[in-house]
């Protein structure tokens, strides 16, 4: 079953009208792990933001007013996101982790997760959980992402180390039980131990029914989270698709050797 289908997606920088995405095509099926790799500035982050623009059905992204989607379609489970009722859209399970996770001062991690979990359950027509029930639901997920329960009392991401922030994102993902997670550089700024923790957390969440799109600059991440497909993005388009061997080749020969030019 197809989860995400992106066709000929184009986007520009609003101010300069400079084209950043030049026709991205990508299909992700249920249960698949995909990786998009590419040089700095190839358009990877713009791609994830463009999907969010479709997701929330805005012409420009709040907080990122710099981008404008100029063409293409994005559908989720066969439904065009632009035509999807807002109600249906919020039921659909997409999770996006940005390169820099936000800090929310004054809101404890526990309250935030409980709120997010119950908001989601309400939308699905499921009964909400009491804090005690929620803790029961959360405990195995804390264990899966190897997170110490004392982080629940801290404010969301406030003072967290890079690795703790990333693991907290994965915990949010676990709580929301999203069908598709788009993870933009979850490996950035992590040492090998933190990277392994984060990868273990992600692997612990994989089921035959959810999918992951990892966006990364480095092959290293793919040693720990094995993708079914590896895509190379270059100058705003996916120029090559292969399996893990494409990432290995990239590591050995560099982007220049496998570029389309």
Which H helix or E strand runs over 118? helix 109-123
Of the candidate spans 12-20, 44-52, 119-127, 231-239, the one that interacts with Mg ion by CB under 5 A turns out to be: 44-52
Of the candidate spans 39-47, 164-172, 198-206, 252-260, the one that interacts with ligand ADP by CB under 6 A turns out to be: 39-47
Residue 20 touches ligand ADP, criterion: CB under 6 A: yes
The residue nearest Mg ion at its CB is: 45
Residue 45 touches ligand ADP, criterion: CB under 6 A: yes
Partner residues linked to 35 by β-bridges: 214, 230
Q: Phi first, then psi: what are they for 165, rounded to 5°? A: -60, -45
| C-beta closer to ligand ADP: residue 64 or 200 | 64
- Which one of 37, 38, 175, 186 is in contact with ligand ADP (CB under 6 A)? 38
Of the candidate spans 41-49, 52-60, 107-115, 175-183, the one that interacts with ligand ADP by CB under 6 A turns out to be: 41-49
Residue 216 touches Mg ion, criterion: CB under 5 A: no
CA 50 vs CA 10, 78, 81, 112, 149: distances in Å:
9, 18, 12, 26, 35
Sites for ligand ADP among residues 51-70 (CB under 6 A): 66
**Do the beta carbons of residue 109 and residue 168 sit within 8 Å?**
yes
Residue 45 touches Mg ion, criterion: CB under 5 A: yes
Residue 102 touches ligand ADP, criterion: CB under 6 A: no
> Is residue 46 left, alpha or beta, with left meaning phi > 0 and alpha meaning psi from -120 to 50?
alpha
> Is residue 85 left, alpha or beta, with left meaning phi > 0 and alpha meaning psi from -120 to 50?
beta
- Which one of 16, 18, 40, 148 is in contact with Mg ion (CB under 5 A)? 40
Of the candidate spans 43-51, 57-65, 141-149, 151-159, the one that interacts with Mg ion by CB under 5 A turns out to be: 43-51
**Do the beta carbons of residue 35 and residue 243 sit within 8 Å?**
no
Sites for ligand ADP among residues 159-198 (CB under 6 A): none
**Do the beta carbons of residue 171 and residue 147 sit within 8 Å?**
yes
| Site residues for ligand ADP per CB under 6 A | 13, 20, 38, 40-46, 66
């Amino acid at each position: 079953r197809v989860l995400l289908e992106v066709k000929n997606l184009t986007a520009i920088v609003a101010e300069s009208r400079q084209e950043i995405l030049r026709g991205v095509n990508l299909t992700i099926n249920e249960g698949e792990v995909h990786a998009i790799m590419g040089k700095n500035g190839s358009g990877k982050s713009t791609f994830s933001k463009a999907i969010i623009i479709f997701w929330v059905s805005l012409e420009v992204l709040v907080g990122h007013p710099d981008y404008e989607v100029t063409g293409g379609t994005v559908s989720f489970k066969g439904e065009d996101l632009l035509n999807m009722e807002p109600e249906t859209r919020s039921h659909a399970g997409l999770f996006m982790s940005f390169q820099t996770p936000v800090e929310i001062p004054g809101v404890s991690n526990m309250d935030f997760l409980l709120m997010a979990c119950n908001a989601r359950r309400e939308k699905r027509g499921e009964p909400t959980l009491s804090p005690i029930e929620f803790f029961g639901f959360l405990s195995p997920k804390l264990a899966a992402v190897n997170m110490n329960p004392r982080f629940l009392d801290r404010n969301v991401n406030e003072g967290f180390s890079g690795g703790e922030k990333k693991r907290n994102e994965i915990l949010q993902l676990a709580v929301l039980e999203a069908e598709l997670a788009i993870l933009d550089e979850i490996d950035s700024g992590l040492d090998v131990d933190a990277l392994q923790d984060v990868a273990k957390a992600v692997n612990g969440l994989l089921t035959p029914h959810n999918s992951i799109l990892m966006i990364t600059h480095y092959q290293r991440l793919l040693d720990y989270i094995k993708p079914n497909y590896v895509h190379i993005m270059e100058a705003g388009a996916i120029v090559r698709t292969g399996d893990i061997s494409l990432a290995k080749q990239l590591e050995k020969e560099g982007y220049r050797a496998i570029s389309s030019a």
